[in-house]
Amino acid sequence: MQIARISNILIAVGIAFGIGGVPAAHAQSKSPMYVINQIEVTDQAGFKAYADRQEALIKKHGGRFIVRGGSVIAMEGTAPKRITEYVFEDTEHFKAWQNEPEQNELSSMRDKASKFNSFAVEGLAQ
C-alpha cells in the first residue's frame, strides 16, 4: 500500500513537471527570422537617410544587424554590391517590424536611392 502511494506521488510529480516543461520547451524552440538584403546604392545621401530611419525601426522591434555593408567576395556567380543582414527573435517580432506603418514611406525612400532585393528566412530554433 505504501509503495503504491509513493509510486502515485512520483507519477503525479512527473506529470506536473512534464506539463510545466512543455510551454518552456515550446518557448525555447521559436525560430529567429533573418532578413537579407542585396543592395546597389544609387544615391548615397538618400540611402543614408533611409538606412538611419530603418535602423531605428529594426531596433524598436528587437532586431539587430549581423552584416552591414562589409566587403563581399564572390564565390559563385556575381556578388551583390552591398549586403545587409539583420535578425529578429522570432516571426512575431519580424512581422511587427514589417507591418509598421512607417515602412511604406521607408520603402519609397529606399527605392529612390537604390536597387534593392530583400528576403526573409526562418533560422534554426535555439
Each residue's pLDDT, cut to its tens digit, for the chain (126 residues) gives 454 444 444 344 444 445 454 444 445 569 999 999 999 999 999 999 999 999 999 999 999 999 998 999 999 999 999 999 999 999 999 999 999 999 999 999 999 999 999 999 999 987
Q: Are strands 114-122 and 33-41 parallel, antiparallel or unpaired?
A: antiparallel
Residues 105, 19: Cα–Cα separation, whole Å: 46
Residue 113's nearest CA partner among 72, 76, 86, 82 is: 82
pLDDT at 90: 97
pTM over 0.85: no
CA-CA distances (angstroms) from residue 42 to 38, 39, 52, 55? 13, 9, 16, 19
CA 81-85-86 angle, to 5 degrees, is: 155
Grid cell of 59 as nine digits: 531596433
Residues 30, 27: Cα–Cα separation, whole Å: 6
